[in-house]
Amino acid sequence: MTRKRWDKLPLEPLDEGSFERIARRLETTEPVVPAAAPGRRQRRWTAPALAMAAASGVLVAWLALRPDPPMAASDVTTQATGTRVTAGGVVLDVGPWSTLHYEGDLRVVLEKGHVLCDVMPRGTRPPVMVEAGDVAVRVVGTRFAVYREGATARVEVEHGVVEVLRGGQASRVGAGEKWPVAKALPETPAPEAPAPKATPEHTPSLRHTAPPPKHAQPLPAPSPRERYEAAAALESKDPTAARAIYAELARGDDAWAQNALYAQARLAQERGQRDEAARLCRQYLARFPSGANAQDARELLDKLK
């Protein structure tokens, strides 16, 4: 058997149009502008070298100080799977069953659901404002999640510091902290019938069983089952978002909370977070000693030891 020349296999480059589309998608609201083009044209018209240098200086100053172009506004509504939106230096991981509106990389309004925001350091650019209900979050560069809950919102900061504004009061929330602090949330989702390891006939179209919210919303709230399934679908693609949904579900006390708490432990173990996985298993066994996944949790705990 002779050794083959695998390097002879051809390589097909991508065409310019495709790269342009990617650039536009990366910038989302800021079109790709060949910023240097006006300068080059100007230099061609300017004969003396000194004048050319001066013109370049003016151009550089203008590029640095020019006002931001008007931001195009966009709306995003997700279904069972979330999506990722990039706007300038802001990456928004929009969770499943969420609706938001954003204006460039300056303002995000979360109407429903949750969003994980990753904001690159802003430098001289104005801070990003993320609004959800009566809460606004001001940020200059960090990673944090905002959950819309009825007329208000909850904020969890992964790293960096944000300023949460509500009712004229500002609170600074640091890495690993949550807002509001350990107080009952203003609204909780309507309780639903337990559905452990549900079969399709138990939960046909649970999306429509929740009562309509008091304020108008474009889509009905997703059921715990839908949220659980959305989290399961996100596990490989975006484990952080999946974990956030599981954590939210696990706050309840129904069968989906049990499933979600165990799934959180399993996910932590799969990601090599052994201490966190063990802590979640112990929490599961303390809260649901005879739950559907109690045996699984014990086995996982033994394995982690």
Partner 1 sequence: MRQEDLDLAGRCVSGDCTAQRELFRRERSRVQATLYRILGSNHDMEDLVQEAFIEIFRSLASFRGEARLGTWLDKITVRVACAYLSRRRPKVARLEAVPEIPDGDANAEERAMAREAARRAYTLLDRLDVHKRVAFSLHAIDGRPLAEVARLMDASLVATKVRVWRARREMERRADRDPVLRSFLEPEGGGAPASSARRGAGIHPPGGADA
Q: Binding residues for partner 1, per CB under 8 A?
A: 1-14, 18-19, 21-23, 25-27, 30, 32, 35, 63, 84, 86, 88-89, 91, 118, 120-123, 125, 236-237
Q: Whole-number minimum distance, CB 20 to partner 1, in Å?
A: 10
Q: Whole-number minimum distance, CB 127 to partner 1, in Å?
A: 11
Q: Which is nearer to partner 1, 21 or 40 (CB)?
A: 21
* Residue 214, token pair as written in the block: 């008091």
Q: Which is nearer to partner 1, 86 or 273 (CB)?
A: 86
Q: What span, in angstroms and rounded, lies between the C-alpha atoms of 251 and 172?
A: 25
Q: Which is nearer to partner 1, 30 or 276 (CB)?
A: 30
Q: Whole-number minimum distance, CB 266 to partner 1, in Å?
A: 18
Q: Which is nearer to partner 1, 230 or 278 (CB)?
A: 230
Q: Where are the strands (E) in the chain, listed by range?
A: 73-77, 83-87, 90-94, 99-103, 107-112, 114-119, 128-132, 135-139, 143-149, 152-159, 162-166, 169-173, 178-179
The DSSP code sequence of 233-253 is HHTTT-HHHHHHHHHHHHTS-
Contacts of 139 (CB under 8 A, 6+ apart): 117, 119, 127, 128, 129, 130, 160, 162, 163
The Cα-based distances of 79 to 67, 91, 110, 132 in angstroms read 36, 19, 15, 19
Q: Whole-number minimum distance, CB 254 to partner 1, in Å?
A: 30
Q: Which is nearer to partner 1, 233 or 294 (CB)?
A: 233
Q: Whole-number minimum distance, CB 52 to partner 1, in Å?
A: 20
CA 126 to chain centroid, in Å, comes to 21
Backbone Cα Rg of the chain: 25
Q: Whole-number minimum distance, CB 43 to partner 1, in Å?
A: 17
Q: What span, in angstroms and rounded, lies between the C-alpha atoms of 137 and 171?
A: 9
Q: Which is nearer to partner 1, 150 or 239 (CB)?
A: 239
CB contact at 8 A, 282 and 275 = no
Strand partners, 77: 99
Q: Whole-number minimum distance, CB 184 to partner 1, in Å?
A: 35
Q: Which of 212, 214, 110, 122 shows the shortest CA–CA distance to 152?
A: 110
Q: Which is nearer to partner 1, 86 or 171 (CB)?
A: 86
Amino acid at 216: A
Q: Which is nearer to partner 1, 22 or 190 (CB)?
A: 22
CA angle, 125 then 27 then 147, to 5°: 75
Q: Whole-number minimum distance, CB 105 to partner 1, in Å?
A: 9
